[in-house]
Structure 1
Amino acid sequence: MSETGVGMASPDHEHFMKLREANEAFYGFVEFLDEFVENGELGGQDAARRLIQHVSEYVQNELADLRPDLPVVVRVYANLKGLRRTYQEAHILDDENEFELFVRGFNMGHPLCDFVDAGAGKECSDEKIRETFKLHAGNVHCKHIVFAGSTDNGYARLLGPYSSTTDFCKRVTMLEGPPFEKELAQLKDKYRTTSFPTVFRDTKLPPIRRVSFSATPIYEPNPTKSPPSYASAASFSSSPPAYNGSRPSTPAPVEKTPGSPSGANGPAWFNGNGTVCGVAVLKNKHGQRVDSPIKPSSSIVQSLKSRKLCNPYHLLGTCHFLACKHEHGERLNDKMMEALRYVARLAPCPSGLECEDENCYSGHRCPNNPCHRPNCHFPKEMHGVDTKICKTWKRVWNLAPNKAREDRNCDVGSDVVNRHYKLVRGAETKLEFGRRRHIRADINTVTLHYDDAYLSHYFSASLTQHSGIQRHQLQLFSMHNHVENPSANCSAKTVLFPHLCFRFFISRAAPALKRAVLAIKPPRQPHPPTGSGNRLLSYNETVLQKPFAPETISVDWVSTDKDGQYVYQKSDSTLVLQHIATETQRVLIDSDRVPDDAHEYFLKPDLSAVMWATNYTKQYRHSYFANYFIQDVESGELTPLAKDQAGDLQYAAWSPVGNAIAYVRGNNLFIWKDGTTTQITSDGGVDTFNGVPDWVYEEEIFGDRYALWFSPDGQYLAFLRFDETGVPTYTVPYYMGNQEVPPSYPKELDIRYPKVSQTNPRVEFHILDVNSLKSKKVSSEAFPADDLIIGEVAWVTEKHEAVVFRAFNRVQDQEKVILVYASSGKSSVVRERDGTDGWLDNLLSINYVGKVQNEKTQGHHNTYYADISDVSGWAHIYLFPVEGGEPISLTSGEWEVTSIVSIDRERELIYYLSTKHHPTERHLYSVSFRTLKSKPLVDDTVAGYWSASFSSKGGYYLLTYGGPDVPYQELFSVDSPKPLRVITSNEDIVDALKEFKLPKISFFDLSIESGFNLTVMQRLPANFDQRKKYPVLFTPYGGPGAQEASKAWKALDWKAYIASDPELEYITWTVDNRGTGFRGRKFRAAVAKQLDLLEAQDQIAAAKAIGKNCFVDKDRIGIWGWSYGGYLSSKVLETDSGVFSFGMITAPVTDWRLYDSMYTERYMKTFELNEAGYNTSAVRKPAGFSNIAGSFLLQHGTGDDNVHFQHSAALTDMLMGGGVPPQKMESQWFTDSDHSITYHGSSVFLYKQLTRMLYRQKTRDVTKGPEIHQWSRRDRNGLRF
């Protein structure tokens, strides 16, 4: 960086160029994040821009004496060939050209960024970095140097001599990627230090070590007997006990025994010289794996096929899956074992013919010879394999005691097996090893802990994970001091020392998440699955059948004396009470006693009864009508809640204490108590709602179907009353009305639907004394009745003393929290918030905490509740005094809390989910409201999307891994990091996906001119080849506060299909534009009063960025969205940018004046306050639709009660009136379908129509201009007709 700047005038060009070379902030020995390198040219551009941005921000924030506009010159020196090879070895890159594209993109990303090839060998890079540093150290025009070399102690000798000069030290900042090596760390007190974690890796790349362990070939040209069976191979070892969390500080003593270097006499297969031989693998003359012949009994094979036997259990001797669904039971006899091996070989080995795993039980050639199956699961190379055995191969470990092995090549037939083992003595024994060329995993470090009772193991470093990997298992075995029999089990006094006999095998897998310590099988990867087979997803599998939907369950935790009890409903409808720890079960309701048409059940808190909702009839998105029955658990007797019910009850809820139920019928509130029913309100009807919300409150405020809340002790009930007098009615016509023959006149549904600037429903807050059955209306000083929205109601007491409700003004940029005393009905304002810089969200996040004592309460014993607020610019948890006062901040930082999961008052903890690691992720944390300290409950350094459900007393929780890999669920105790039990593993989906080659999903941030970063989710075709040109489809939603590009599990749906079908092969980009959620208030509020102005700009900017990639067909970039995404798609086309060539618009908003008031006015204000904004946001310009190179499709359901068909009708009229030619526009209306478009097979037609559109656009001849006919000529105004 220089005061003169790169762009100053200079007397001569040569001097100027020398000066420019001196103006550098340069970087040395750090590696860019994988996401940049994986995304090729675009990733390089993003890395360069991000790096310049971070350095500039660092100068502005930390180097106040320098001008903030100093130019930043970046030099990256590397041995490109070696670095590319390292990335390939780590399987971050699959194609060497990808790294060249990254380097090119980096050089293109900023004019002052250069990625320089220093030549072969690390020494070349080191020399250039050292000499360049010395050059700039003496250059007065270079104002500051940012030096990156945290992983190389050699740079300490470069920086050390300068550290005694204080003035010079001020000119240098040491950049930390991976932790500083020891000698460099000693200089941290001399130089400034910083890190850029969103640019560079914080861990080292695994080193390339080509040769390593001794793999000695054993040739048997004429073998006379078969190799040992897989079952007998497994008998060489026993699995280590589970790690219980203990860790000794010193190793156990070793008793020396003559004849063994380590003091341990090994079994027969351990030769005493540190060498261990594995099981033989048969090979043909080509070095390909050959399966030994098996001739089982056909009748036994058929019988086994009908059973679901566990292959690891029977063939390998053990199964590590805690909730394995396959059959274990008694061991099989020899004939059945032979038949099971045959059956196991019917599935192809993912490692193929190069497999050298001696424990592999999968097939290595197609059993059908010849094979006539068109969709054979075995790849082409596994057909017609030469089965003549010419040699065998055995793996030999040579672990010399007390020293590290030298690297050396070991020729094994035609293969070169590359390994490196480094054995280190001490409290921790570490083994570092590279990879065989067919294994798609690299293991950085495995740390073994040992004590005097057992050997436990866990992964101490995050393991690199890649596309072809499904299962990873590591088995470790220690040598006991006096074990001589190879089949004998090690005793309890197992000791680990330099002689460690171990067997490891990788069966196409990825490492486990560190939190679970291999609890889930197969372990998950920190990225979406990519499959390891060759089969491509089909239309039927993704759109019609959907067989890859993961199973997740929810449990009803019950509040009883025993914490950890929950109720769940089995597949046969039986209701079961189970305890998480003891696994004891009690059947509450047998399946034969469950009502036949039961839709939902509600447990009485004391578990003595169950309430069933039957005869279900859908109303709106959440609400429905039903009959309700109370069933006694003991007798099974069913009693109707209302004797004359006719499928017309709207809602019912148990009191938390006692024997009372509140329910709503005919928009009136009733109390059922001990078998007696009392009607509380009588004014309910068409215009008045008691205890349930009207359409707009259900849809936009509560997102639920009730508006009543019992106090914790059941003594009081708070409920809302809605008055819709004056609210305009919208009529939805139904042309078929669920009939086969249309009625003479359409059926009509009248909905009170307030649109922009129209009358809103008036809301009142009421309190009911459940004992006296008397209610009172609560008056408050919130807002005038015609300007009031009640957004949240919550009891903030242990009994019934106090309840609060959150009030907003009509446009939801002012908030007040009102405290109500239940017994008196008196109220007061205890919190206020101004949000006129944007809007205020109704997060429904108030949770009562109780009394709190910490350093910030100053000895006061106030009661508090927790709430989420973005008053700091980022959504975080605060403790608010119930009666008002200064809040206590529990979390902070430039990240957001997305939800409060649970409050544990006994342990003084709040559990929450947050985006601390990245906006696309969710990790589970706890924060103590006594110490104010937070800690993660999952490994937050590994990408994941977690959620949790806690027991009533907080002692147990159901943890759900929701992505990016296949979801699973485990049960935990808060007192142990180990799961108690696997609930759902979805291993069937994991196994099924092995057959497929799936589209590759990746995530990265895209910088835009505004200074914000946009999250991008990229889905590349399954058979992606960057040398080809691919069409692109943008798939945004883009609405305020929404998020589409997250690392939650991505369903293998239509988007996956269009990336898989060879006739389509679309790249899809999902971009979360400005206004979407979880990047802070400024990012969200930027779109206030101008919906879809910035959103469309961001989508266009992203399309321009992707269009720079060499693999993108710039003539075929399209956009498709549904609902708000449909609106965004239409605005993008209207913009007439020339970037998008086609569009597909489904159920769009087209004019915000036509949408409901409570959603629209939150972001746009009223029409009177923002007329210009409404006019700009409406889709009203036809030129962009006429000018697109391809065409566009418009779809809508005529029965849409949310985004009315009126929107698409108005858009169609505008486009036709504006002269858009028919060859540009295609429309499709779906009779009587609502916003989801599913009625009468509509969804099947919809996706086929979308697919047809994509195919037409891909095959469109871009060299031909528009067809001109007499009937398609332009009129004198330039419009086609």
Structure 2
Amino acid sequence: MRPSLLLVALLVIAGCASTEPAAPAAPPAAAPPVSESRVPARATAAAELTLEKLFASPEFAAESFQGGRWAESGARLLYVDQDREAGTSNLVEMDLENDGRRVLIDGSVLAKPDGEGLVQIEDYAYSADGSKALLYTDSERVWRLNTKGYYYVFDLETNALRPVADRSEGLQMFAKFDPAAQRVAFVRDRNLYVVDLATGDERALTTSGGPGAVINGTFDWVYEEEFGLRDGFRWSPDGRYIAFFQLDESATRDFQMTDFRTLYPETTSFRYPKAGEANAEVRVGVVDVATGETTFFDTDTWFEGGDETEYLAGMGWTPALDDGRADVWMLRLNRDQNHADLLYGDPETGDVEQVLEEENDSYIEVETGFSDVATGTITYLDDGDHFVWRSDRDGYGHLYLYDNDGAFVRQVTRGPWDVTDFHGVDEAEGVAYVTTTAASPLQRHLYRVPLGGGEPEQVTSGAGWHSVDLSRDFDYFTDTYSTATAPPTTTLYRTSGEEVAVLIDNEDLAERIAAYGLPAPEFTTVPGADGEPLNAYVIRPSDFDASREYPLLIHTYGGPGSQEVTDRWAGTERLWHQYLAETHGILVAGVDNRGTGGRGKAFKTETQNRLGILEAEDQIAAAQHFGAMPYVDSDRMGIWGWSYGGYLTLLAMTYDDGPETFHAGAAVAPVTSWRQYDTIYTERYLSTPQKNPGGYDLGSPTTYADRLAPGQDLLIVHGDADDNVHVQNSYAMVDALQAAGKQFDLMIYPGRNHGIYGGGTRLHLYTLLTDFFAESLGGAGPVAQR
């Protein structure tokens, strides 16, 4: 799942650094130093931790920093402040260094001219000249985020407010000023529109959009879910053109979900291309806004080209090139996503030029924010002459500098570690800022890299996880820092390293947690199936006695590029694991199998084309390693996971030595056959079922349903409104288990999606899981003596 839309998004600024290419190096040591906890010492009399406190109260809710968009310079952030008592929302500038506030847009003057009440600002954008602001309000959800709503133009000099378009015509998406702030473009009902702000005249720039057919300026379900693409159009720097994505989904197939909670069940239908099925056709066009004339670039992706030119995964405008004009850049991928082309399109002629080509023996990571990559593949620099390209061509995720014409300049970062976030280049100081895994795969730190060569300098301190956001002038950054035992704090620093102000300390939460005397995770390594050291953590009860035997529960996710074992705050789920250890005497462990992130390309892509098998082998090997310890009862070991973790749970219980290793397992929202999952995600790691049928069969838990042993307890959980991993997956596993005569438990949550939340659902789910493992692993009774 992806996070909900923030009212105010943090601004990510792009840049670069430089050094020469280096040969691939060995992976970093798997075992990191364990961070020191900032949690106060354990209270003498521990408070009682309950499931109600964990999942039906705000007891453990961490306070988070408001966040916002950096002003042009200084330690100043712009954010939306909701005043619930007054019923207003104001745009505020906050001086982080001096704790000052200034109201930029007073919400009390935002009376809707076309409706009742005040505009409640959900998002905003200033025009380039700073004279106007676009205000976004009354939004509605589109799959993951609230990306459709209504827009108003607010004149900052006169306080005049006017709607961009007539509300009765429908919801609008992704409205943007042109560079001169004379027009606003937006998407409505899958077509692109432009409004002249002087006259109020609205014109349709496309008319082909419609349900189940053509989409202009935005995307279908799978492009949004797997490439993170939603906003599909861009104004040219001179305001003459708009470049936009166009998709034709007429050849894709509908997937239907049924809500059985109504007297007569209601059906929702949407296009969802499953592995091996047809994707939407895609191309990029450029429309001349004045004339309405549209030119489409021939990228061999529109009803031609086959699997070799399947996707356009990114698009934007270049800076001015040698001819003084900007081109449209496009990132093209083949269907297997192991070949990428950077293309330039001339908006006047429609000519397309290949500028850069990247080939890989595994997938090329272009999705951001869901695995171990937080920033995109290409970033143009403010100097107007260069771009930075992210690649793992030397075995690790690093940055490479190119001239805008595609000529290679140099490798920017290098070493046996991955760059996970690229924050930009301070050209005045000649340094780039990056977040990397250099200290440990379990940690994240900010580094400053000299452009002229030299070693990266670590900027953040304190072992653990640092999520940073740099100011536009690179003088300041906010650092949200946590460890496995300490909730997040947010602090303002100068990039010199000097602390300026603590913005959020979460001391009250830390004190509440300390009162429970919960056991801390202990980081270690365990051998995988091939002997490779795997990062792991173990949680033991605070009264742990090595002379006794304990049941063991492994929590897994294990999907490509993910990490379960990190030295960061993990919220209520990790607290629940601590609850199981403390209350039920169950040891809880987490293991990052092969295929997970933070340890370089070879480790991450070892599962290519055989998804699930190595991961299951590693989880089984890890459990057997724990089971050989004198204080672990090898006859009482379990495993559980959600989504990919649910899939891996089913495989680990039924594949190879799994039936003899795991006594119990709980699979929440599991994939059970990759043939039932979407094209872009699945084929990135498995190719298509037509090319790799053996890989699909080998990695499907349904293949091994008959191997579930009589002594194994299995619980399957799914929400029947899951648009991501369809409940059809669990039904397929149920069907296979029943055909094999196997007994198991099943829980369906009607009307719940992939996150299975809302109302008291989370408390119900975790009560179910707690009772299941307490009974199946014997954790509810006294711990057995050896």
Say which of 744, 764, 767 aligns to 1:1245: 764
**Is 1:611 aligned to residue 134 of structure 2?**
yes
| C-alpha contact (below 8 Å) 1:802/1:819 kept by paired residues | yes
Once residues 1256 and 885 of structure 1 are traced to their aligned partners in structure 2, the CA distance between those partners, rounded to angstroms, is 63
**Is 1:574 aligned to residue 90 of structure 2?**
yes
- Per the alignment, residue 544 of structure 1 pairs with 56
Counterparts in 2 of 1:1054 and 1:1228: CA distance versus 1, 3 Å: farther
**Is 1:817 aligned to residue 342 of structure 2?**
yes
Q: How many residues align?
A: 725
Once residues 743 and 996 of structure 1 are traced to their aligned partners in structure 2, the CA distance between those partners, rounded to angstroms, is 46
**Is 1:1092 aligned to residue 612 of structure 2?**
yes
Q: How does 1:334-483 map to 2 (within 5 A)?
A: 470=39
- Per the alignment, residue 921 of structure 1 pairs with 443
Give the drift of 1:583: 5.1
- Per the alignment, residue 644 of structure 1 pairs with 167
**Is 1:847 aligned to residue 372 of structure 2?**
no
Say which of 502, 525, 550 aligns to 1:1005: 525
RMSD: 3.0
Deviations 1:492-544 (A, max 9, x none): xxxxxxxxxxxxxxxx5xxxxxxxxxxxxxxxxxxxxx777622432122111
| C-alpha contact (below 8 Å) 2:447/2:459 kept by paired residues | yes
| C-alpha contact (below 8 Å) 1:790/1:807 kept by paired residues | yes
Give the drift of 1:1060: 5.1
| C-alpha contact (below 8 Å) 2:48/2:516 kept by paired residues | yes
| C-alpha contact (below 8 Å) 2:616/2:651 kept by paired residues | yes
**Is 1:557 aligned to residue 89 of structure 2?**
no
Counterparts in 2 of 1:1206 and 1:597: CA distance versus 1, 3 Å: farther
| C-alpha contact (below 8 Å) 1:1140/1:1188 kept by paired residues | no
**Is 1:748 aligned to residue 267 of structure 2?**
yes
| C-alpha contact (below 8 Å) 1:1034/1:1118 kept by paired residues | yes
Say which of 206, 217, 221 aligns to 1:695: 221
- Per the alignment, residue 259 of structure 2 pairs with 734
Give the drift of 1:786: 4.3
Q: How does 1:790-869 map to 2 (within 5 A)?
A: 790-797=312-319, 801-838=326-363, 840-843=365-368, 844-849=376-381, 851=383, 863-869=385-391
Counterparts in 2 of 1:626 and 1:890: CA distance versus 1, 3 Å: same
SS at match of 1:1098: helix
SS at match of 1:1000: coil
| C-alpha contact (below 8 Å) 2:32/2:441 kept by paired residues | no
Counterparts in 2 of 1:761 and 1:987: CA distance versus 1, 3 Å: same
Deviations 1:18-74 (A, max 9, x none): xxxxxxxxxxxxxxxxxxxxxxxxxxxxxxxxxxxxxxxxxxx99xxxxxxxxxxxx
Q: How does 1:108-147 map to 2 (within 5 A)?
A: none
| C-alpha contact (below 8 Å) 2:773/2:779 kept by paired residues | no
Give the drift of 1:765: 1.1
**Is 1:789 aligned to residue 315 of structure 2?**
no
Structure 1 residue identity aligned to 2:685: Y
Once residues 534 and 770 of structure 2 are traced to their aligned partners in structure 1, the CA distance between those partners, rounded to angstroms, is 28
SS at match of 1:541: helix
- Per the alignment, residue 1111 of structure 1 pairs with 631
Deviations 1:797-820 (A, max 9, x none): 169613322110111121111123
Structure 2 residue identity aligned to 1:1253: F
Say which of 484, 487, 491 aligns to 1:966: 487
Give the drift of 1:578: 3.0
Counterparts in 2 of 1:1203 and 1:984: CA distance versus 1, 3 Å: same
Give the drift of 1:785: 4.5
Where does structure 2 lack aligned partners over 5 or more consecutive residues?
1-24, 84-88, 111-116, 369-375, 782-786
**Is 1:897 aligned to residue 419 of structure 2?**
yes
- Per the alignment, residue 502 of structure 1 pairs with none
Once residues 1088 and 665 of structure 1 are traced to their aligned partners in structure 2, the CA distance between those partners, rounded to angstroms, is 40
Say which of 1132, 1141, 1147 aligns to 2:669: 1147
Give the drift of 1:580: 4.3
Counterparts in 2 of 1:1116 and 1:646: CA distance versus 1, 3 Å: farther
| C-alpha contact (below 8 Å) 1:564/1:952 kept by paired residues | no
Give the drift of 1:725: 1.5
- Per the alignment, residue 5 of structure 2 pairs with none
Once residues 709 and 1036 of structure 1 are traced to their aligned partners in structure 2, the CA distance between those partners, rounded to angstroms, is 40
Counterparts in 2 of 1:773 and 1:1049: CA distance versus 1, 3 Å: farther
Structure 1 residue identity aligned to 2:777: K
Once residues 645 and 910 of structure 1 are traced to their aligned partners in structure 2, the CA distance between those partners, rounded to angstroms, is 48
Once residues 465 and 731 of structure 1 are traced to their aligned partners in structure 2, the CA distance between those partners, rounded to angstroms, is 48
**Is 1:1203 aligned to residue 735 of structure 2?**
no
SS at match of 1:776: strand
Structure 1 residue identity aligned to 2:245: L
TM-score, normalised via structure 2 length: 0.86
Counterparts in 2 of 1:949 and 1:1182: CA distance versus 1, 3 Å: closer
Counterparts in 2 of 1:609 and 1:658: CA distance versus 1, 3 Å: closer
- Per the alignment, residue 601 of structure 2 pairs with 1081
Counterparts in 2 of 1:543 and 1:930: CA distance versus 1, 3 Å: same
Give the drift of 1:630: 2.8
Give the drift of 1:559: 5.2
Counterparts in 2 of 1:713 and 1:986: CA distance versus 1, 3 Å: farther
- Per the alignment, residue 586 of structure 1 pairs with 102
| C-alpha contact (below 8 Å) 2:170/2:188 kept by paired residues | no
Once residues 394 and 341 of structure 2 are traced to their aligned partners in structure 1, the CA distance between those partners, rounded to angstroms, is 18
Rg larger in structure: 1
- Per the alignment, residue 389 of structure 1 pairs with none
- Per the alignment, residue 1213 of structure 1 pairs with 735
Structure 1 residue identity aligned to 2:380: Y
Once residues 699 and 637 of structure 2 are traced to their aligned partners in structure 1, the CA distance between those partners, rounded to angstroms, is 23
Q: How does 1:1251-1266 map to 2 (within 5 A)?
A: 1251-1259=770-778
Once residues 478 and 551 of structure 2 are traced to their aligned partners in structure 1, the CA distance between those partners, rounded to angstroms, is 42
TM-score, normalised via structure 1 length: 0.54
| C-alpha contact (below 8 Å) 1:1005/1:1015 kept by paired residues | yes
Counterparts in 2 of 1:586 and 1:1059: CA distance versus 1, 3 Å: closer
Counterparts in 2 of 1:1145 and 1:890: CA distance versus 1, 3 Å: same
Counterparts in 2 of 1:1061 and 1:873: CA distance versus 1, 3 Å: closer
| C-alpha contact (below 8 Å) 1:764/1:777 kept by paired residues | yes
- Per the alignment, residue 622 of structure 1 pairs with 145
- Per the alignment, residue 988 of structure 1 pairs with 508
Give the drift of 1:1244: 2.8
- Per the alignment, residue 556 of structure 2 pairs with 1036
- Per the alignment, residue 493 of structure 1 pairs with none
Once residues 910 and 813 of structure 1 are traced to their aligned partners in structure 2, the CA distance between those partners, rounded to angstroms, is 28
SS at match of 2:46: coil
Give the drift of 1:608: 3.9
Deviations 1:116-175 (A, max 9, x none): xxxxxxxxxxxxxxxxxxxxxxxxxxxxxxxxxxxxxxxxxxxxxxxxxxxxxxxxxxxx
Give the drift of 1:601: 1.4
Once residues 706 and 449 of structure 2 are traced to their aligned partners in structure 1, the CA distance between those partners, rounded to angstroms, is 52
Structure 1 residue identity aligned to 2:205: I
- Per the alignment, residue 210 of structure 2 pairs with 685
Once residues 407 and 450 of structure 2 are traced to their aligned partners in structure 1, the CA distance between those partners, rounded to angstroms, is 20
Once residues 656 and 1109 of structure 1 are traced to their aligned partners in structure 2, the CA distance between those partners, rounded to angstroms, is 66
Give the drift of 1:1261: 11
| C-alpha contact (below 8 Å) 1:1023/1:1060 kept by paired residues | no
| C-alpha contact (below 8 Å) 1:608/1:633 kept by paired residues | yes
Counterparts in 2 of 1:979 and 1:840: CA distance versus 1, 3 Å: closer
Where does structure 1 lack aligned partners over 5 or more consecutive residues?
1-60, 63-195, 202-463, 472-507, 509-529, 737-741, 852-861, 1263-1281
Counterparts in 2 of 1:1039 and 1:599: CA distance versus 1, 3 Å: farther
- Per the alignment, residue 764 of structure 1 pairs with 283
- Per the alignment, residue 193 of structure 2 pairs with 670
Counterparts in 2 of 1:878 and 1:544: CA distance versus 1, 3 Å: same
